[in-house]
Chain A
Amino acid sequence: MAGAAAVFPRLSLPAHSEAEKAAFAWAPFSLGALASGMGLALGLALLPAVAGGGRVGVDYWWTRDLYHLRLQADGLSLPAALAICALGLLVHLHLVGLRAAERSHQRAALLLAAQGSAMGAVLAADLMAVVFFLGLTVLCLWGLAATSAPREAERLLTAGYLGGLLVLAGALVMWQRADSTSVQDLPLLLLSAEPRTLGLIAALMLLGFLPFVSGFPAHGWLASLAPRSHSLALIPATLLLVVGATLVLRLLPGSLMLATAPGFARLSLVLGLVGLWWGALRAWFATELGWLAVWLTVAQAGQLLLAVSSSASPVASGPAMQAAGLHLLAAPPAVLAVWWASSAVAARTGTDALAGLSGLWRRAPASGLALLAGGLSLAGFPPLVGFQVQRLLVSGLVDQSRPVLAAAVVLADVLLAVAVVSAFRRAFLRGEPPPPVRPAPVWLSVQLAALIAVLLALGVWASATARWGELVSNAITLAPP
């Protein structure tokens, strides 16, 4: 604790107990922040080479003829890797400044390992390597959750393993057809495959990647990860989201081309609608802030699948494709803001149950604003960045003459917004006496304010946001070499 105070004077929250004080370890989380920062710097250095449509690849013959580790930074994988590093940097600094839970050394190591594995999954240019890194990511997150929520951790392991098996099955069918599992060669090699085979591969890949989009259907483990503060859920919630979204976007025309397979658009449409509406309706009935964050995450996964569904055609409208690409930028910080607000409230009051919270606005305004900003961004409200995604998604659906679907998306967004505002009103504005609230360090307020500013700035500065969306969608639509 003394070490933390020396590095971050007046920034550390008091630890909750003597045991936690003894277990507090700032060093491993600082190491995580350093590694994330280095990854961010390296990624930014590669950005000019990739922004013009280039690719930076590293080949490492791993197992000779069986599969090998081939990493590639392009317009899709590099932004995803940058997002993982940036989110990791934020969260590691948060964990240094806030407090560490028990077993912090192991958890810090597992968080960093999960981050590294997720980077490997988004940068991998060989489907077998994708399966390898996905499995490793699930294993790290299972280890992270196993000590505090063993049953939920088992569900995560099951969903991740089954997802990995489905992706592996799809990759093997591809290999049988094309004699390669490299994402660069596959689109051309698969052109000669029968539509039925392509449809089978696409369905296997989409269903396999689904568990990694917000951990669905094992998403509930996030709310149980660290019941007293949810601080350890921050990285996993965003990691899975970035990894799942990147891999699903890889299926679009121009990348793996699998989205053009028969049945793909319909399957992703059904999954997207179910995810969006299920998440929106369950968010209405959420009685804890952590669970509200869970259902918002499920709903945004549904939005992603809807955007992918409307981009599935090779002649998909530009807005639909941009919405799918921009989702990668907009959703993670919004999800992070909601989890962060939930974590901060639980850490300061000892609970995130809405029944036990009231009148927090005066004591924790930054947490309230972060909850509102993140939740309303996910619901697509202006001037937040999520609005740009919803605008593009809805205009893409209207362009494709699908007004009913556009209306269903808008209605679900309204439901989400009402759920967020209702939770905010109950926890922050209700007139009953507030629960005892521990003092917050300036550090926490600065972090929350910075996150809100990011969500607002990306929404207001629409031209830069659109350029990012174009970068990602160009990378997806570029014909393979």
Chain B
Amino acid sequence: MTAGPASTISAPVLLTIIAGGGLLVLATALALRPRAGASGFGWIVVAGMGCSLLGLASPLQSPGGDGLRAGLVHLVAVLLAALLGGLSAPRRGAAETPTNALGVAAWGCAWLTLLGFPPTVGFPAKVALYRALFGCGWGGLAALAMAASAAALVPARWGLRFRARALEGTWAAVGVLLVALILALGLYPGPLLDLLGGMGAAAGPAG
């Protein structure tokens, strides 16, 4: 809201929007296939990256806006979820994968972060992203990103039914650390926002 968006869209902005929006729509559509199974998680991670790209495109259009920080926060949230999900994702074709409580918690936390549920870091990331898109005058893209989030519920419901991989030993410690980080940044995202905001400012007005 601090600076008004430009009235015309330049070619680089348009290309970034097409790339980000296309990635978002395509990956969400692939995740919605009934045969996607546990791989739906991967496609929703890709869709999340498409969302981040949309956020990163907004400072090109509205340099004084919050888009760069929003895009970076969203990217961090998606990457944390991807790491956690990668650790605990069910093995392909293994119906009787051994599981434990930590694996289930990690798998659930990864999905909830991708969906943007509080108190995970996904929530401030989604809020920042939607707000940046709205602030840039891209209400339609914000609606598209929200619709994609709503659509992600379908693979999330399928994915949560799979047996998560058991986390033991070193992987258990890494899993606990990632879950704690996701929850801590969700409950108190101020330091992350400040850090990424500072990085965005240092990168210059055009990002």
Binding site for B on A (CB under 8 A): 61-67, 128, 131-133, 135-136, 139, 150, 154, 157-158, 161-162, 165, 168-169, 172-173, 175-176, 179
Contacts and interface: CB of A to CB of B under 8 A. Distances in A.
Interface in B129-179: 130-131, 134-135, 139, 142-143, 146, 149-150, 153, 157, 160-161
Contacts of A139: 112, 117-118
Contacts of A176: 1, 134-135, 139
B1 A64 contact: no
Contact of A172 (B112, B124, B131): B131
Contacts of B142: 169, 172
A168 B127 contact: yes
Nearest to B143: A169
Interface stretch (B11-19, B25-33, B35-43, B186-194): B186-194
B128 interface: yes
B64 interface: no
A305 B49 CA distance: 40
A175 B157 contact: no
Contact of B130 (A62, A133, A172): A172
B119 interface: yes
Contacts of B127: 66-67, 128, 131, 168
B190 A64 contact: yes
Contact of B124 (A66, A150, A161): A66
Contacts of B126: 168
B107 interface: no
B115 interface: yes
Interface residues of B, number: 30
Given A62-B188, A66-B124, A66-B131, A165 B118 contact: no
B194 A161 contact: no
Given A66-B127, A172-B134, A162 B119 contact: no
A247 B153 CA distance: 25
Interface of B: 1, 112, 115, 117-119, 123-124, 126-128, 130-131, 134-135, 139, 142-143, 146, 149-150, 153, 157, 160-161, 188-190, 193-194
A63 B123 contact: no
Contacts of B119: 132, 136
Contact of B193 (A63, A161, A179): A63
Contacts of B112: 139
Contacts of A161: 115, 117, 150, 153
A480 to B, nearest CB: 21
Contacts of A173: 134, 139
Residue among B117, B146, B153 with the most chain A CB within 10 A?
B117
Contact of A63 (B124, B130, B146): B124
A161 B116 CA distance: 9
B131 A64 contact: no
12 contacts: A61-B190, A62-B190, A64-B194, A136-B119, A161-B115, A168-B126, A169-B143, A169-B146, A172-B134, A172-B142, A176-B1, A176-B139
Nearest to B194: A64
A290 B193 CA distance: 47
B29 to A, nearest CB: 19
A154 B111 CA distance: 13
Contacts of A128: 127
5 closest cross-chain pairs (CB), A and B: A135-B118, A132-B118, A172-B134, A176-B134, A136-B118
Contacts of B123: 132, 135
A132 B117 CA distance: 8
A133 B189 CA distance: 16
A132 B119 CA distance: 7
B134 A154 contact: no
Nearest to A162: B150
A168 B130 contact: yes
Nearest to A61: B190
A168 B190 CA distance: 20
Contact of B149 (A158, A165, A172, A179): A165
A67 B146 CA distance: 19
B116 to A, nearest CB: 8
Contacts of A169: 130, 142-143, 146
Given A63-B193, A139-B112, A150-B161, 13 more contacts: A62-B190, A66-B189, A128-B127, A132-B118, A132-B123, A135-B117, A135-B118, A135-B123, A154-B160, A161-B150, A162-B153, A175-B1, A176-B139
B38 to A, nearest CB: 16
Given A66-B128, A132-B118, A172-B130, A165 B146 contact: yes
Contacts of A175: 1, 131, 134
A135 B149 CA distance: 14
Nearest to B126: A168
Given A154-B157, A168-B130, A179 B1 contact: yes
A279 B2 CA distance: 48
B81 to A, nearest CB: 16
A66 B197 CA distance: 12
Residue among B118, B160, B194 with the most chain A CB within 10 A?
B118
A128 B131 CA distance: 11
A32 to B, nearest CB: 20
Contact of A64 (B117, B118, B153, B193): B193
A121 to B, nearest CB: 11
Nearest to A179: B1
A131 B119 CA distance: 11
A158 B190 contact: no
B189 A158 contact: no
Contacts of A165: 146, 149-150
Contacts of B135: 176
A135 B124 CA distance: 12
